[in-house]
Amino acid sequence: MKTVAAVRHVDFEDLGSLAGILDERGFSVTYHDAGVSDPGDPHLREASLLIVLGGPMSANDYPAYPFLKSEVEAIKFRLQAGLPTLGICLGAQLIAKALGARVYPAVQPEIGWSKISLSRAGHSSPLRLFQHVPVFHWHNETFDLPEDAIGLASTRACPHQAFALARRALALQFHPEITELDLERWFTGYAGELATNPLPVQTLRDESAIYCDNLELHTKLWFGAWLEHVGLG
């Protein structure tokens, strides 16, 4: 049985469209809810695949959220062992931190839909399946590219949108997993943050109605290709 440990920091930021893909491919998924589940659960280190999802806290918030330290330790273990690991948004920042890179506030928040620009390495990776596809962003922090990591993608607002370490670890600042239904939960859960966002909620909703279905289609293609890439196809 292929197993997935998915670290969830808030209940409405889950696997989204990735869940159905994993189910179709015969994976058994277990959620680990940050601050509730045992942060030292060996399943985080032993699962066939670890996926660290997004959340509103900073990767630097160890004092307020001590479970982050345990997450980083689990990520370090997996990276050193060459075990498949995927980080999305906060998860990507935690991978960067586990590799010794600096995580810090971005020049400006990035919330909404935009395309990513692929590097030469990105064009040769499964991320090529997102070329010319608007993807969804929601983050206030960014990170330096870790030593030995390969930069795969960027946007105008964020020079490090994606990086890989060897073949088995991938960090994505954007959200490939999002669905239109998921976003309605985000709009409610993050109402306070959206109150200061330049784009009105209705604009985000209207753009999501245009772009979400296409993102789901390309996410299915990308995720299947990436699972093959890391030997879990």
Question: Of these residues, 9, 139, 160, 175, which one is catalytic?
Answer: 175
Q: For residues 37-57, b (16+ Cβ closer than 10 Å) or e, as one string?
A: bebebeebbebbbbbbbbbbb
Question: Of these residues, 13, 32, 89, 216, which one is catalytic?
Answer: 89
Q: Is 177 a catalytic residue?
A: yes
Q: Is 16 left (phi over 0), alpha (psi -120 to 50) or beta?
A: left
Contacts by 191-196 with C-beta closer than 8 Å and gap 24+?
193/56, 194/111
* CB-based contact 143:102 (threshold 8 Å): yes
Q: How far, in Å, CA of 191 to CA of 198, rounded? A: 13
Q: Is 141 a catalytic residue?
A: no
Q: How far, in Å, CA of 13 to CA of 10, rounded? A: 6
Q: Is 175 a catalytic residue?
A: yes
Question: Of these residues, 32, 177, 212, 216, which one is catalytic?
Answer: 177
Catalytic residue positions, numbered: 89, 175, 177
